[in-house]
């Protein structure tokens, strides 16, 4: 009897094969694709692998103006450049999976994983008989869990398949058709090609960012004053009025209290507890990794996925904040105790292991947790995420932290000031989670009625601030709160907005002119596309497939109707939309003022040379042009000598004037580089050289020695 197991990734295929049989043999198809063969219970088993999606949607007729009639085709045919590597995997599955007696779907147990395996079985193996297909469901790639999943296989969940198909079709309808229509509007209005992107979730996400950007721009700051008194022990007491918007009132308090002592009016001692954190779901892990390490949500998700496929942690794309008892906590802790750093915390665990579970659940997978297998060969960033997961897992089993708070009210000439001090009385879980600061302040030795010397009294003038811009982690939280996108797609959506140049900024997300005008234009002419309600409604209906409250066909039909309405709006207002979007694109690429004619210097792309450059908006009347290296960023600073923008480029990053000839004496025929030290790699002299984009340090031994650094880095590199 021949059984074929289809996995999502090659690493998963290897782990499943070795879990089923230690003597599983690795084979190679066409010198490229690994697969595994083994025998178990009189079965001849072949374990094959996909590499993510092997099939993509494509129109039945590419010449159609709009694409609503779609079919699945091999990804390498749909996207020859980006997915060409999948060709050998499709061929391997076709050859090795044809005519088997039974099939096992062993891809990740979520909507995307289910669709990946279903398409591989249907189109590559030619398998339509569901009676021959069973499903492995697992949350970790440990031998124990894989054997349990193999022995307790379930039926293929067709509601997951239908949800996956419907979601892909909707994304195609909205993304491809509307993006095409927007690009066509620019082409018709301006006779220019402009790559634009819109999407079912992407556009409402951009709309959220634009809404915040407008709040910031429209915000009018108000001055206010904070009155503070510094007393012995370097304790800062604040006036009870907090923000004082009346300048006269602030001056009155200062005049009244200046040079006076403070009387202790009231002391209140209170106790509080801080519960342990809840286990990580994907959003929680992304948020914490951003706050602790500054990692982008996409980076955290990628690392977490790698830790999962390596067998070190559980499946990351989960909404659950719960750790079920079935996980066998003791066994996981026993294995983790082989690491001395983890052991000193694990040894202090309570005898009864009960985690502080959160409210959110996920029927497919538990919260993210370590498997107990200690990793080897992790990169620096992978180690950070792994330890974050382990310490969070350990900490949720400990008791609450306890604190004592001293709230003190001071009387200075009838004006009341307050300060609070907080100290820990029992560290609890916080002692075992090194990523949180523990408040442990000393209490001053004072009692009610005491007189205390005021060391300093001052008025701190400030201004009210606009709402903060989103960062990537807070935007994911906002999308989750508004029920936009899925846990698996939110990071990718943000990445796409960066890729399309609608937004920029790393610590804070700023919307550029093109992004803002895109939303303003779409809100004016086709409001449905920016509508959160439409996106949320479709997402809820997709989720409803699993409980039979909606069907794949109904959702796809509704999506088609909505897209037709939006396309109708774009067609009616094509010229206005195209003109506004192109003008916004031009404005978003202005980097400075032309020194020769006063026109705008605009960043452009040349399809002929496949490179970017900066040219004047008054071309062909003005032929000012500057070449720029790949990966150039334009800084807000300008050159002190010529006023052109300063650019950042290269690795390591260097800074220079946009004009590579700025500051150079063009009459000078010979340039003699200055010796600035000894090369740390070969010992030959280091020379300060003048390159295309400014000065840099290079070795005299070039090309044998290729040591280089920026002028600013030289001192540190020579230490």
Residues labelled as active-site residues: 315
Cα dist. 472→211, 286, 386 in Å? 16, 9, 21
Cβ distance 584 to 594 under 8 Å?
A: no
Tally: H helices and E strands in the chain: 21, 28
Structure tokens, 222: 């108000």
Distance CA 94, CA 113 (A): 19
Nearest residue to 493 (alpha-carbon basis) of 290, 285, 198: 198
- φ, ψ of residue 154 to 5 degrees: the values are -120, 175
Distance CA 164, CA 545 (A): 10
Distance CA 614, CA 541 (A): 48
Distance CA 417, CA 257 (A): 11
Max CA distance (Å), the chain: 95
- By CB atoms closer than 10 A (0-12, 13-18, 19+), residue 578 is buried
Residue 527 CB partners (closer than 8 Å, separation 6+): none
- By CB atoms closer than 10 A (0-12, 13-18, 19+), residue 91 is middle
Cα dist. 87→48, 56, 92, 104, 148 in Å? 14, 13, 9, 22, 32
Q: Which long-range contacts (CB under 8 A, 24 or more apart) does 217-225 make?
A: 219/465, 219/466, 219/467, 221/463, 221/464, 221/465, 221/466, 222/463, 222/464, 223/247, 223/461, 223/462, 223/463, 224/461, 224/462, 224/463, 224/464, 225/250, 225/459, 225/460, 225/461, 225/462
Cβ distance 33 to 131 under 8 Å?
A: no
How many Cβ atoms sit within 10 Å of the Cβ of residue 167?
Answer: 23
Cβ distance 515 to 206 under 8 Å?
A: yes
């Amino acid at each position: 009897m021949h059984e074929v197991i289809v996995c999502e990734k090659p690493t998963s295929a290897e782990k499943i094969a070795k879990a089923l049989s230690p003597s599983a043999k690795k084979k190679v198809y066409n010198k490229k694709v690994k697969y595994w063969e083994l025998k178990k219970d009189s079965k001849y088993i072949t374990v094959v692998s996909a590499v993510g999606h092997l099939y993509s949607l494509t129109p039945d007729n590419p010449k159609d103006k709009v694409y609503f009639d779609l079919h699945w085709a091999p990804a390498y045919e749909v996207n020859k450049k980006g997915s060409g590597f999948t060709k050998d995997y499709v061929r391997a599955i076709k050859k090795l999976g044809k005519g088997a007696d039974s099939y096992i779907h062993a891809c990740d147990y979520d909507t995307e994983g289910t669709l990946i395996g279903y398409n591989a079985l249907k189109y590559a193996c030619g398998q339509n008989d569901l009676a021959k297909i069973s499903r492995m469901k697992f949350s970790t790639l440990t031998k124990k869990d894989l054997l349990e999943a193999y022995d307790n296989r379930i039926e293929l969940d067709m509601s997951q398949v239908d949800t996956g198909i419907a979601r892909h079709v909707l994304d195609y309808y909205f993304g491809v058709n509307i993006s095409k229509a927007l690009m066509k509007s620019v082409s018709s209005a301006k006779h220019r090609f402009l790559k634009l992107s819109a999407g079912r979730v992407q556009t409402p996400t951009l709309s959220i960012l634009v809404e915040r950007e407008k709040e910031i721009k429209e915000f009018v700051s108000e001055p206010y004053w904070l009155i503070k008194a510094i007393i012995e022990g370097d304790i800062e007491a604040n006036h009870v009025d907090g923000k004082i918007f009346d300048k006269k009132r602030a001056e009155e308090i200062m005049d009244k209290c200046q040079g006076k002592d403070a009387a202790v009016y009231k002391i209140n001692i209170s106790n509080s507890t801080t519960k342990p954190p809840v286990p990580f779901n994907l959003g929680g892990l992304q948020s914490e990794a951003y706050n602790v390490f500054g990692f982008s949500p996409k980076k955290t998700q990628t690392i977490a996925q790698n830790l999962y496929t390596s067998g070190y942690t559980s499946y990351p794309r989960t909404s659950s904040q719960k750790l079920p008892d079935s996980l066998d906590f003791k066994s996981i802790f026993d294995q983790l105790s082989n690491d001395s750093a983890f052991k000193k915390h694990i040894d202090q665990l309570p005898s009864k292991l009960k985690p502080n579970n959160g409210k959110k659940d996920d029927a497919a997978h538990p919260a993210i947790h370590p498997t107990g297998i200690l990793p080897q060969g992790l990169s620096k960033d992978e180690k950070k995420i792994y330890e974050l997961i382990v310490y969070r897992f350990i900490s949720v089993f400990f008791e609450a932290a306890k604190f004592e708070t001293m709230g003190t009210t001071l009387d200075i000439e009838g004006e009341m000031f307050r300060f609070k001090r907080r100290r820990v009385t029992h560290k609890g879980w916080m002692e075992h989670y090194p990523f949180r600061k523990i408040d442990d302040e000393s209490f001053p030795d004072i009692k009610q009625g005491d007189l205390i010397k005021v060391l300093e009294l001052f008025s701190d003038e400030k201004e009210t601030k606009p709402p903060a811009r989103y960062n990537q982690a807070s935007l994911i939280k906002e999308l989750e709160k508004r029920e936009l996108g899925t846990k698996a797609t939110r990071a990718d959506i943000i990445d796409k907005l960066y890729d399309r140049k609608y937004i920029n900024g790393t610590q804070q997300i700023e919307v550029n002119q093109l992004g803002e005008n895109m939303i303003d234009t779409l809100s004016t002419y086709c409001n449905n596309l920016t509508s959160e309600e439409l996106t949320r409604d479709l997402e809820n209906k997709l989720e409803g497939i699993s409980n039979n409250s909606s069907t794949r066909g109904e959702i796809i039909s509704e999506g088609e109707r909505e897209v037709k309405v939006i396309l109708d709006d774009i067609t009616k207002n094509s010229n206005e939309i195209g003109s506004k979007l192109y003008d916004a694109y031009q404005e978003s690429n202005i980097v400075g003022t032309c020194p020769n004619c006063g026109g705008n210097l605009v960043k452009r792309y040349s399809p002929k040379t496949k490179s970017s450059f900066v040219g004047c908006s008054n071309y062909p009347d003005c032929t000012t042009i500057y070449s720029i290296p790949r990966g150039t960023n334009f800084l807000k600073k300008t050159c002190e000598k010529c006023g052109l923008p300063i650019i950042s480029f290269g690795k390591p990053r260097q800074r220079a004037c946009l004009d590579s000839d700025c500051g150079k004496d063009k009459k000078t025929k010979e340039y003699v580089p200055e010796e600035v030290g000894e090369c740390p790699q070969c010992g030959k002299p280091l020379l300060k050289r003048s390159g295309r984009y400014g000065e840099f340090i290079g070795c005299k031994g070039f090309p044998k020695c290729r040591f280089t650094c920026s002028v600013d880095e030289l001192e540190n590199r020579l230490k």
